[in-house]
Chain A
Amino acid sequence: MTHVLDPHALTAETPPRREPPTPFADVTRSESAFRAFLHGLPGVDQVGAQSRVAVLGTRSIKTTSKAWAIDTAISMVDLTTLEGADTPGKVRSLAAKARRPDPTDPGCPPVAAVCVYGDLAGIAKEALAGTGINVAAVATAFPSGRASRAVKLADVRDAVANGADEIDMVIDRGAFLSGRYLDVFDEIVAVKEACGEAHLKVILETGELVTLDAVRRASWLAMLAGGDFIKTSTGKISPAATLPVCLVMMEAVRDFRAATGRQVGVKPAGGIRTTKDAVKHLVLVNETAGPDWLTPDWFRIGASSLLNDLLLQRQKLRTGHYSGPDHVSVD
């Protein structure tokens, strides 16, 4: 059988596996060793995690702190459109919104990135040229991840060639849940290589991982394999980003940096629709991983409708009266 995409991807000869950073260099030496390591991670106290986020969620953020939180959250938004009906025109209008979220107020910061499907990355890149706003593209057979590795890698290379600065990949949840951890690891390593200069965000799709223990394992797996960011969800299934999941992931990146010295970012995506939700996430970041993560380089929020709510709250703070959905753009 001849393969149309990349014959080398299917050859029996595989390069030696890249080692994770010290002190975890040897955990991927065999399937059983890797499983023993991931299952040896401390278990997550689910009730404890829920009560912790419930306590943090009651923090009252007011006046100047609120204004700071809103502006920070806007600057962390990955403004996203991932619909089958996306068009170049829609991506351009989203890019315009990303540059100047509130046209009535030049003081409003731009968002961090625009997130689109790989085929539209070129359009987004062109529309955002010279702004410093990144183009993120989803790849690897998003959102299901059900395609052969050759197809996934071709998808990634295509998105990078189109100008994507960041690649959002999905892990193979089927392999992860059936315990083939090294398959998942190798795939992330291969995608990371295919990314070249582009940053790699690894989507765990926590809604399909069922338990917080599995979220912790998947987070460590993705970080060991070289992901620059770990991201909660595709946004295509529910539940998406929840606070307990985000707590476990923030703990994972904190512990990983303490052990290896390498900092990994976190991106909750999907289900964050209100300013209140966003502020709760910022509180969680600050209290769990610390203020080092409170910048768009290390924390992103994947959202589409959230930005409008942030803008409405921002207008309320600025004008002193409530604004309405007629006063922000429909995207």
Chain B
Amino acid sequence: MIGGERLAVRKTYKLYLGGAFPRSESGRTYEVHDAKGAFLANAARASRKDARDAVVAARGAFPKWSGATAYNRGQVLYRVAEVMEGRHAQFCEEVAAGEGLSAGRARAAVDAAIDRWVWYAGWTDKLAAVLGSANPVAGPYFDFSLPEPTGVVAVLAPQRSSLLGLVSVLAPVLAGGNTAVVVTSRERPLPAVTLGEVLATSDVPGGVVNLLTGDAAELGPWLAEHDDVDAIDLTGAPPERAMEFEREAAGSIKRVLRPPAAEPDWSGDPGLGRMRTFLETKTVWHPKGF
């Protein structure tokens, strides 16, 4: 063996579901190629039953994640950014191969993704102050409006921007205290797989994020119709089917985030819009103490 050519380790990645890495229930995989068409790895192709299991996992994780203090959620999310930083080189390689970027531009995209994650981590304990309010009333009581997480959010992640785009749609869902079922980019899933490994080795409880590699066109309808999904982000949906998914989501009165006309440049200022979409405002009246 010494001095000989080393055999390539061909990788078959799995799903990230409920804190574990199972194969797809269907046993299906598909080949992932780089921007020039060369083989990169095999990825699991999630089925509707994987989506169903992911929703069960996300629902199970919701009480703990939404019940954690905002400060604690911020700490946990910041820790994710730390672990991402440790995987920086791997992310750069995968982003460069998948999106066909030069090394410099891939590094810039990974830097931006990690910075964005840190930015959202900082927002967890500021949301209530910015989006909530103490409302003026004419009586001997208080009246507060507070943002609360919507619940289980299905996210169809962007198809083109495989890491920065993914972080830009996932982190705002988590920051508000929601749990997520994410269908990754079909052609460029590897940064999402690595992000799953990052999440598994940081402090995010199992089930808070579930990453399904596969086809948004196949899984979208099942998630849109699912009675136990509270909101759906259609960013990565096939444009010609987004309307259909939205109609299906109406059956269970989901929050729907419509897809942009074309996939945006994710490097711009994200704003609060995405976090606000997946928060519900609860207003309470409270008597003044004596």
Other than the known A322-B225, A322-B227, A326-B227, what 4 A-B pairs have Cβ atoms closer than 8 Å? A321-B251, A322-B226, A324-B226, A325-B228
Q: How far is the CB of B52 from chain A (nearest CB, A)?
A: 5
Q: Determine if B222 and A324 form an interchain contact, defined as CB atoms under 8 angstroms apart.
A: no
A326–B229 alpha-carbon span in the complex (Å): 11
What 6 A-B pairs have minimum CB-CB distances, sorted nearest first? A324-B228, A321-B225, A324-B227, A322-B226, A323-B227, A322-B52
Interface residues as binary, A305-331 with B (CB distance below 8 Å gives 1, 0 otherwise): 000000000000000111111110000
Q: Which residue of B lies closest to A315 (CB)?
A: B227
A324–B251 alpha-carbon span in the complex (Å): 13
Q: Does B59 contact A (CB under 8 A)?
A: yes
10 contacts between A and B (CB under 8 A): A321-B222, A321-B248, A322-B52, A322-B227, A323-B227, A324-B227, A324-B228, A324-B229, A325-B59, A326-B227
With a cutoff of 8 Å between Cβ atoms, the chain B residues found around residue A324 in the complex are 55, 59, 226-229
Q: Determine if A322 and B59 form an interchain contact, defined as CB atoms under 8 angstroms apart.
A: no
Residue in contact with A327 in the complex, picked from B59, B227, B251, CB distance below 8 Å: B227
With a cutoff of 8 Å between Cβ atoms, the chain B residues found around residue A327 in the complex are 227
Q: Determine if B251 and A322 form an interchain contact, defined as CB atoms under 8 angstroms apart.
A: no
Q: How far is the CB of A48 from chain B (nearest CB, A)?
A: 28
How many B residues face the partner with a CB closer than 8 A?
A: 11
A324–B55 alpha-carbon span in the complex (Å): 9
A320–B229 alpha-carbon span in the complex (Å): 15
- Which residues of A line the B interface, CB within 8 A? 320-327
With a cutoff of 8 Å between Cβ atoms, the chain B residues found around residue A326 in the complex are 227-228
Q: How far is the CB of A17 from chain B (nearest CB, A)?
A: 53
Q: Which residue of B lies closest to A320 (CB)?
A: B225
Q: How far is the CB of A220 from chain B (nearest CB, A)?
A: 41
Q: How far is the CB of A62 from chain B (nearest CB, A)?
A: 13
Q: How far is the CB of B156 from chain A (nearest CB, A)?
A: 17
With a cutoff of 8 Å between Cβ atoms, the chain A residues found around residue B222 in the complex are 321-322
With a cutoff of 8 Å between Cβ atoms, the chain A residues found around residue B225 in the complex are 320-322
A327–B225 alpha-carbon span in the complex (Å): 14
Q: Which residue of A lies closest to B55 (CB)?
A: A322
Q: Which residue of A lies closest to B49 (CB)?
A: A322
Question: Which of A323, A324, A325 has the most chain B CB within a 10 Å cutoff?
Answer: A324
Q: Which residue of A lies closest to B152 (CB)?
A: A324
Question: Which of A321, A322, A325, A326 has the most chain B CB within a 10 Å cutoff?
Answer: A322
Q: How far is the CB of A144 from chain B (nearest CB, A)?
A: 32
With a cutoff of 8 Å between Cβ atoms, the chain B residues found around residue A321 in the complex are 222, 225-227, 248, 251
For chain B residues 226-243, which have a beta carbon within 8 Å of chain A? 226-229
A324–B151 alpha-carbon span in the complex (Å): 13
Q: How far is the CB of A320 from chain B (nearest CB, A)?
A: 8
A250–B61 alpha-carbon span in the complex (Å): 38
For chain B residues 215-264, which have a beta carbon within 8 Å of chain A? 222, 225-229, 248, 251
Question: Which of B52, B55, B222, B227 has the most chain A CB within a 10 Å cutoff?
Answer: B227
With a cutoff of 8 Å between Cβ atoms, the chain B residues found around residue A323 in the complex are 227-228
With a cutoff of 8 Å between Cβ atoms, the chain A residues found around residue B55 in the complex are 322, 324
Q: Which residue of A lies closest to B224 (CB)?
A: A321
Interface residues as binary, B47-59 with A (CB distance below 8 Å gives 1, 0 otherwise): 0000010010001
A325–B151 alpha-carbon span in the complex (Å): 13
With a cutoff of 8 Å between Cβ atoms, the chain B residues found around residue A325 in the complex are 59, 228
A287–B222 alpha-carbon span in the complex (Å): 35
With a cutoff of 8 Å between Cβ atoms, the chain A residues found around residue B227 in the complex are 321-324, 326-327
Q: Which residue of B lies closest to A323 (CB)?
A: B227
Q: How far is the CB of B164 from chain A (nearest CB, A)?
A: 31
A325–B229 alpha-carbon span in the complex (Å): 11
Question: Which of A320, A321, A323, A325 has the most chain B CB within a 10 Å cutoff?
Answer: A321
With a cutoff of 8 Å between Cβ atoms, the chain B residues found around residue A322 in the complex are 52, 55, 222, 225-228
Q: Which residue of A lies closest to B229 (CB)?
A: A324
With a cutoff of 8 Å between Cβ atoms, the chain A residues found around residue B228 in the complex are 322-326
A71–B284 alpha-carbon span in the complex (Å): 44
A201–B46 alpha-carbon span in the complex (Å): 45
With a cutoff of 8 Å between Cβ atoms, the chain A residues found around residue B229 in the complex are 324
Q: Which residue of A lies closest to B227 (CB)?
A: A324
Q: How far is the CB of B105 from chain A (nearest CB, A)?
A: 41
Q: How far is the CB of B60 from chain A (nearest CB, A)?
A: 10
Q: Which residue of A lies closest to B228 (CB)?
A: A324
Q: How far is the CB of A233 from chain B (nearest CB, A)?
A: 25
Q: How far is the CB of B62 from chain A (nearest CB, A)?
A: 11
A322–B226 alpha-carbon span in the complex (Å): 5
Q: How far is the CB of A322 from chain B (nearest CB, A)?
A: 4
Question: Which of B52, B228, B251 has the most chain A CB within a 10 Å cutoff?
Answer: B228
A321–B220 alpha-carbon span in the complex (Å): 12
A321–B55 alpha-carbon span in the complex (Å): 13
A322–B55 alpha-carbon span in the complex (Å): 10
